[in-house]
Structure 1
Amino acid sequence: MLNDTIQVDIDLRGYAGWNSRHAVQVLDKVFPKDAPVQPSLVIVYFGGNDSSTPHSSGLGPHVPLQEYIENLRKIVDHLKSLSENTRILLLSTPPINEATITPNSDGKPTKTNEACQIYSEACLDVCRKMNIEAMDLWSAIQKRDNWQDVCFIDGIHLSSEGSKIVLKEILNVLKGAEWEPSLYWKSMPSEFDEDSPYDPIASDGKSTVNLSNWVFPDNDKWD
């Protein structure tokens, strides 16, 4: 919600430690095809856990690259089938601060930037081939000065500064995407935006002021 009136309802589906294998298993539960209302936009992020270093036990979040690619394709195909108006945005794998990464029980680092970049490029390639919007987190994070130190809380998970970069990039995609209807916040209608006698009284003392589509000064940060 970007001003004082409701423009969107946002449902968050973030599951700690999950990879694309998890997602494929629950697609029909999270996004049932027979739901009475389908989402206008789905933002998908998998890759950070998939790109983890494989463990000799076969356990853990690592997903081989080709399976990861196929899982992304399955996710996109399912989301496309929900509605012709459901838009999709995939976020690619971001970098990590390797200096903070500890080894696993095999004595290997749990994550590497080499793997993160490979999975990021694979995600972007899927988006190009399937004609959907993508956000290159690998590159976006590294544009920030001292990104290794300021963009993470632990070398992997994003800090508030890192999250601001993600938000800015998402808004840039929404602003530039040629979607009809537009999902950029300034182009979206407000809910229940009709004039009302219960609105604030205008300076003439005889009418009211409809605030539904006002853009307040602090909203500039969303532009």
Structure 2
Amino acid sequence: MEKTEILESAKMRPKIYLFGDSITEESFSDDGWGAALTNHFARTADVVLRGYSGYNTRWAKKVLEKVFPAELNDGVGRAPLAVTVFFGANDACLPDRYAAFQHVPIDEYKQNLTHIVSYLKNRWSSTHIILMTPPPIDEAKRLLHPYNENPSNLPERTNEVAGNYAKACVAVAGECDVPVIDLWTRMQQYDDWRKAYLRDGLHLTRGGNKIVFDQVIGKLGEVGLSLETLPADLPYFNSIDPNDPLKAFEV
């Protein structure tokens, strides 16, 4: 890399990574929570999508070095401002239902989450890591949206089991001393959560995406990452002197 390229790369906008399963992968769709984050931080940070539909923590642990390759930590670019880690919905698939191949036992789920957090902390000591629990499950609606043959005619997930994984995620956050967003609990504070927040019993409606966005923005603010604390990468239009516009771009 040429010296000028190194200097320019060091000036790149800071980044916020979204690492998770399909609820993260879909977050850049219309009204998605990731797209909303991108819009929110439009002049201050780049939001980078790393969502992988169907993945559990066992698979996420296996691909960490591919998702976050060594060149992201080469001493030139900045460490990410934050990484959201949003897994558990697939780990919580039941071991005796049609999605059993995605199931990860809850003790292993906790170990895998701990490993992911430790990996990211060791890579970037200044990066804020935010864990996110799986959302609640509408079992009746899951029966209407199987993604494989379902001979048992039973949902591949249950809300009770998802809740156990959510509690495990919260416990890992406490043990690792990182922030956590408990979506399983938060969404169920509203009586109409099934219809309002879940379009297929698992993935998010527009309202569900709004809740996730609000929770992420709130948690980022708690760790000091907000529009008030992050500088814009170039001068805002209304700060440019109309009598001497180019002065704003002098280094």
List aligned pairs for 1:133-144, cutoff 5 A.
Answer: 133-144=179-190
User: Residue type of the partner of 2:59?
Assistant: H
- Is the 1:2–1:185 Cα contact (8 Å) retained in structure 2? no
| 1:187 corresponds to which of 229, 239, 242 | 229
| 1:44 corresponds to which of 66, 80, 85 | 85
Q: Percent identity?
A: 34
Match of 1:13? Answer: 50
Cα gap change, 1:189/1:2 in structure 2, threshold over 3 Å: closer, same or farther? farther
Residue segments in structure 1 that go unaligned for 5+ positions in a row: 212-223
Q: Cα distance, 1:101 vs. partner? A: 2.3
Cα gap change, 1:207/1:144 in structure 2, threshold over 3 Å: closer, same or farther? farther
Cα gap change, 1:44/1:105 in structure 2, threshold over 3 Å: closer, same or farther? same
Cα gap change, 1:105/1:148 in structure 2, threshold over 3 Å: closer, same or farther? same
| 1:67 corresponds to which of 101, 108, 114 | 108
Match of 2:162? Answer: 116
Q: How many residues align structurally? A: 201
Match of 1:172? Answer: 218
List aligned pairs for 1:202-213, cutoff 5 A.
Answer: 206=243
Cα gap change, 1:108/1:29 in structure 2, threshold over 3 Å: closer, same or farther? same
Aligned partner of residue 180 in structure 2, secondary structure: strand
Cα gap change, 1:4/1:89 in structure 2, threshold over 3 Å: closer, same or farther? closer
Aligned partner of residue 88 in structure 2, secondary structure: coil
Match of 1:147? Answer: 193
TM-score normalised to structure 1 length: 0.80
User: Residue type of the partner of 2:204?
Assistant: L
| Match status 1:125 vs 2:171 | yes
* Alpha-carbon distance in 1 for matches of 2:90, 2:132: 13
Cα gap change, 1:186/1:145 in structure 2, threshold over 3 Å: closer, same or farther? farther
**RMSD, aligned CA:** 2.8
* Alpha-carbon distance in 2 for matches of 1:56, 1:44: 26
* Alpha-carbon distance in 2 for matches of 1:156, 1:122: 19
Deviations 1:9-64 (A, max 9, x none): 11101111111111011101111345233322100100011101113789521111
Q: Which moved more, 1:112-121 or 1:35-44?
A: 35-44
TM-score normalised to structure 2 length: 0.72
* Alpha-carbon distance in 2 for matches of 1:122, 1:3: 30
Cα gap change, 1:168/1:34 in structure 2, threshold over 3 Å: closer, same or farther? same
Higher relative helix content: 2
Cα gap change, 1:24/1:5 in structure 2, threshold over 3 Å: closer, same or farther? closer
Deviations 1:75-110 (A, max 9, x none): 001000112211100101110112212283344321
Cα gap change, 1:107/1:189 in structure 2, threshold over 3 Å: closer, same or farther? same
User: Residue type of the partner of 2:209?
Assistant: S
Residue segments in structure 2 that go unaligned for 5+ positions in a row: 1-37
